[in-house]
C-alpha cells in the first residue's frame, strides 16, 4: 500500500514538472498549465514598442538576449524578442506587428524554480505602456 502511494506521489511530481514554451519560441523547465503571460496592444510602430520594452527591462534588471524571430519559410517578420532577468526572475518579451499601425507585446515571467510571477508580468507590461506615453 505504501509503495502504491509513493508511486502515485512520484507520478504526480513528474507530471507537475516539465517544459513550457516561452514567448520567444524556446523551451524552459517550468510548471506547465499555469498562465504566465500578459499581452497588450498599442497603436505604435514595432520598433517604438520594442525600444520601450528594452528600456523597461534595462531599468528593472538586465537584458540577456535580443532576438529577431523568423517564420518557417525564413521570411522576415516584424517579430522581436527580448530575454532578461528582473528581480531574480526570467523574463521574456515578444513584440510583433498585428497590422501596419498596431503592435502586440507579450510579457512572460518565471521564477527560478519554474513557477509563474504574474505580478511582475503585469507590472512590466504596464511600465512599457507608460514608457510609450513619455
Residue 8 pLDDT exceeds 90 = no
CA distances in angstroms from 114 to 28, 65, 78, listed in the order given: 8, 19, 29
Residue 69 pLDDT exceeds 90 = no
More confident residue, 107 or 36: 107
More confident residue, 103 or 73: 103
Structural domains in the chain, sorted by start: 2-133 (3.30.160.110)
Strand partners, 76: 70
Q: What is the pTM of this model?
A: 0.78
Query: What's the mean pLDDT when you consider all of the chain?
Result: 82
Rounded mean pLDDT of 64-79?
Answer: 71
- Residue 37: band (very low, low, confident or very high) from pLDDT cuts 50, 70, 90: confident
**Which pLDDT does position 63 carry in this prediction?**
94
More confident residue, 38 or 16: 38
Amino acid at each position: 500500500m505504501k509503495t502504491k502511494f509513493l508511486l502515485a506521489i512520484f507520478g504526480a511530481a513528474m507530471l507537475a514538472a516539465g517544459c513550457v514554451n516561452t514567448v520567444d519560441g524556446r523551451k524552459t523547465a517550468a510548471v506547465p498549465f499555469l498562465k504566465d503571460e500578459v499581452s497588450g496592444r498599442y497603436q505604435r510602430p514595432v520598433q517604438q514598442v520594442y525600444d520601450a520594452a528594452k528600456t523597461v527591462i534595462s531599468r528593472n534588471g538586465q537584458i540577456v538576449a535580443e532576438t529577431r524571430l523568423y517564420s518557417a519559410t525564413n521570411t522576415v517578420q516584424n517579430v522581436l524578442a527580448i530575454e532578461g532577468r528582473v528581480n531574480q526572475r526570467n523574463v521574456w518579451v515578444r513584440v510583433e506587428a498585428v497590422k501596419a499601425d498596431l503592435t502586440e507585446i507579450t510579457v512572460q515571467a518565471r521564477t527560478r524554480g519554474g513557477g509563474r510571477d504574474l505580478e511582475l508580468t503585469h507590472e512590466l507590461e504596464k511600465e512599457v505602456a507608460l514608457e510609450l506615453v513619455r
